[in-house]
Amino acid sequence: MKTLRQSPLDPAFVQNPYATYARVLAEDPVQFWDDYGMMAVFDATTVQALLRDRRLGRAVPEDHRSKAPDHLAHFDAVERVSMLDLEPPHHTRLRGLVLRAFTSRRIKALEPDIHAICDDLLARLPDGPFDLIPAFCTALPVRVIARLLGVPEEMSDQLLRWSNAMVAMYQAGRTHETELAADAAAAAFTAFLTGYVEERRHQPRDDLITHLIAAEEHGEKLSHAELIGTCILLLNAGHEATVHTLGNAVKALLEHETPAAALASSAIAATVEEVLRFDPPLHMFTRYAYEDIDVGGRRLAKGQQVALILGAAGRDPARFDTPDRFDPTRPPAPHAAFGGGLHFCVGAPLARLELQIGLQRLFQHAPGLTLTDRPRYADSYHFHGLTHLSVTRGAL
């Protein structure tokens, strides 16, 4: 097996990981990524297959589990009940209960709210150069998920700080300080949501927290810990990927001088899917092997982890013609931006709705939107999103 030596902290790699992906795909799409100490899979066919392979999973194998250190006790309490890191039967039960509350009807009913939030944010955009990431790309998803859950939108900045501190645990370059900040955020987040859950038990409303409390299947409900963990997961995952994708989408649309037709009602869905393929928000997702598995002629031993490189799968020339070209008119083909299999993103329908409405409304409001500075990605692999996106509403 070939060995890939590529630091995920290398600034050049972070700004353009696709050059490395192209080289790996041309050489051998299954390599041992030395910096991570695990097998990594880059091609679309194998990534898609492994996402659906039940011999792999997110839950740490029993013989690999260890007690969380004391300084991560609060963070671990949340992670232990996260759908993201569970497998059947626990995952099946938890996801089923969440889907009973997080229905397609409830997501569709959010459409007027998304438009109303866009109205407010767009009215605040200045005329001169400004950073679109905090002004629109971050604010929209955070306020939408807050409104969905039923927590105060005026707390959006605080929710964002807690979320960012916790999500930093999954990024390359994690330090002891990262862990302390994440644990403190988990403790504060849990305390805040506990109060809100208790309030909703006595004063139900038409929000997701109330519906999660009421969700029941075969006489089973979410435990208190599961309810808190699910709310935190939905808040964190419910904005993180959408923030990045909104920014990446605007960057791609402006840099490629994409025709306005790509944002028409008949075309916007395809444009969003092309953004998700071309520049997705999450580039790596790991799995554990629960038995010995053959991966592209290599042996992945039971208990070992494998990295599925979602960002590379979307640029695989074996799956997509001219994969480095941003083309919203591209014939539809499955991408891996939302994962796959049992862990396919539960919030994908909401993310798609936010992205479609958000992009349409932004460019309707500012059809002359123009870049004023070179966009820069945050040093946060394996997430992939912009740290700033300086624009002006009219041509300079």
- Tell me what percent of the residues of the chain surpass a pLDDT of 90: 80
Q: What is the pLDDT of residue 27?
A: 96
- pLDDT, averaged across the chain: 93
CB 244 within 8 A of CB 281: yes
List the chain domain ranges: 3-392
Could you tell me the mean pLDDT of each successive run of 10 residues in the chain, 396 residues long? 95 97 98 97 97 95 82 94 92 91 90 97 93 96 91 89 91 92 96 92 91 83 92 86 96 95 96 97 96 95 97 97 96 91 92 97 95 93 94 73
CB 387 within 8 A of CB 376: yes
Phi-psi sector, 175: left (phi>0), alpha (psi -120 to 50), beta: beta
Which strand (E) or helix (H) includes residue 299? strand 298-300
CATH of domain 3-392: 1.10.630.10
Secondary structure letter of residue 63 according to DSSP:
G
CB 97 within 8 A of CB 217: yes
Q: What is the pLDDT of residue 73?
A: 94
25: exposed, middle or buried (Cβ count in 10 Å: 0-12, 13-18, 19+): buried
What is the C-alpha end-to-end distance of the chain, expressed in Å? 51
Q: What is the pLDDT of residue 396?
A: 41
Residues 223-246 pLDDT 10s: 999 999 999 998 888 778 899 999
Which parts of the chain fold into alpha helices (H)?
Answer: 11-15, 17-27, 44-51, 73-79, 90-101, 104-108, 111-124, 132, 139-149, 156-167, 176-202, 208-214, 224-255, 268-278, 310-313, 348-365
